Structure 1
Amino acid sequence: MPRAAVLGSPIEHSLSPVLHNAGYEAAGLSGWDYTRFEVTAESLPEVVGASAPEFAGFSVTMPGKFAALRFADITSDRAQLIGSANTLVRRAEGWFADNTDTEGVRGALAELLGDSPARHALLIGAGGTARPALWALAERGITTVTVLNRSDRSAELQPLAQKLELELSFTGFSGDLTAISRAADVIVSTVPAAALEDYVFDIAHAPVLDVIYDPWPTPLTTCAAANGYKSVGGQVMLAYQAFSQFEQFTGVAAPREEMLEALNQELQRRSQTVK
């Protein structure tokens, strides 16, 4: 029976099984199964290397994304460029590593902006998600990115920005956040909602992609909506990165509508359970 799984720690609440198993059912792949395994960065090589032949691939969440790239026999250009992998695919020549977080951000930006032109982005946060976000922004046609972060991490991101031909600048939270956000065509937030709770009224002056989806809506997206701007949540990014993984694992086109519907239903169920 062909199988796939998501690896990470903690992994109990991962929504990847919901997405992939819904996709298998909708695509008529009755023999496929997708599960989850608690795996650390240290244990990932052993777990993947010893996996049974029926495992076609693995989705990888933190803290294993850097280990996944190091473990792989072959890597995609974008995974190598970004420096991490969230996808491992079994191939005849060995394990192939890719980073479909890039497609997750790109798909979410497409949902958010449609055909609207955008050249200047405000990127909030400079952690792991910032790197695929920069890739997707460059793919979208963005030429200038202002990174809002508590510390200047330009030394880490500038090499990637240069390869993507992005003009990158850094600013802290003591700057004129209203002016900075109004100058942007789009805002991408990669930080927890609590990190912005004192600043949302100053920042929410452009369309927002917030990678947070639980709880939803976030204060930033609520404030942006009050200002007349559209927002898209991290569940859309999660779905789009899974579509590509599904297709790489199975060789079958992802049934996107059914996968996204299953995800939204599960998020609604969880929100009701919390209440």
Structure 2
Amino acid sequence: MTGPHRGTGPRPGRARGAVLGSPIAHSLSPILHRTAYAGLGLGDWSYDAIECAEGDLATLMESLGPEWAGLSLTMPLKRAVLPLLDTVSDLAVEVGGANTVVFRDGARHGENTDVYGIVQTLAEAGVAAPSAATILGGGATAASALAALREMGLAEVTLVVRNASRAGETLDVAERLGVAVAVRTLDGFDRSGVDGDLVISTLPSGAADGFAHEIAAALPDKGALFDVVYSPWPTALARAVRDRGGAVIGGFPMLLHQAVKQVELMTGRADVPVEAMRAAGEAEIARRAAQE
């Protein structure tokens, strides 16, 4: 495994990309990537959503021809893909998952753009230097959040999980990152459960509902919540924080910015149309919400 793959400049000609996962039909990635290709003038490029369970990943990757530029991966494929790659960026090794595969020069290169997505989202919202932070959840997104907070200058983070016995992999990530972690559980949550002026919730939709008011009350004045859920929105936690005057950041910007970095890696282009992708993604979210 080597360091980050820098690419070899813009990729010429027709190429394919896709997002893999199971279930995958709900993914916004095709909307975002196709909008980017259109804005970049890559009319011959295509991007699809492919249903792929963990056990089918190796066979699927073996079947891909030279026209493939890259893949986006959802959990649990982010971890399962690592042994199938030729090189993996240092960051993807540290967080234990690659959400991006770039095919170039006959090799498979693994990257993690989730961390970039979190950092960009927080910076865009004006949360560039939290004094301290609390992460809710202990899965793959929590691992990326740990790496993002390290990039933002934090060496200590509080991790609040539903079951402490399931936080092992995330604690291993923290050790590789050199971040000290204090683990607490949601059971019996009170005001002492939140440290700092930033809470990042990586919990699935609905998982924090029962603790929403306690978490909101624990945030200091001018504190911020970043909830990685983007649909349905707002979550009960987001509403509770907003009702108390706190800043609330939804999950869509993270999805957007990690996709922007994926497009850069797969195409070799730096002029990715971020705002066109944002508008397309927000329109699709609104369309789906109207149908529910």
Band the TM-score falls in, shorter-chain normalisation: over 0.9
Q: Is 1:108 paired with 2:121?
A: yes
Partner of 1:89: 102
CA contact (8 A) 1:119 1:144 kept: no
1:199-219 deviation digits (Å, cap 9, x = unpaired): 111101230110101100111
Partner of 1:189: 201
Q: Show the 5 A alignment for 1:1-275.
A: 1-115=14-128, 117-152=129-164, 153=166, 155-181=168-194, 183-204=195-216, 205=219, 206-253=223-270, 254-274=272-292
- Taking a change above 3 Å as real, the CA distance of residues 252 and 38 of structure 1, as seen in their structure-2 partners, is same
CA contact (8 A) 1:193 1:219 kept: no
What secondary structure does 1:23 align onto? Answer: helix
What secondary structure does 2:171 align onto? Answer: helix
Q: TM-score, length-normalised on structure 1?
A: 0.94
Structure 1 residue ranges without an equivalent (≥5):
none
Q: State the Cα distance separating 1:175 from its structure 2 match.
A: 4.5
Identity of aligned residues (%): 38
Q: Which amino acid aligns with 1:217?
A: P
CA contact (8 A) 2:189 2:211 kept: no
Q: State the Cα distance separating 1:13 from its structure 2 match.
A: 1.2
Partner of 2:7: none
Q: TM-score, length-normalised on structure 2?
A: 0.89
- Taking a change above 3 Å as real, the CA distance of residues 125 and 163 of structure 1, as seen in their structure-2 partners, is same
CA contact (8 A) 2:160 2:193 kept: no
What secondary structure does 2:125 align onto? Answer: helix
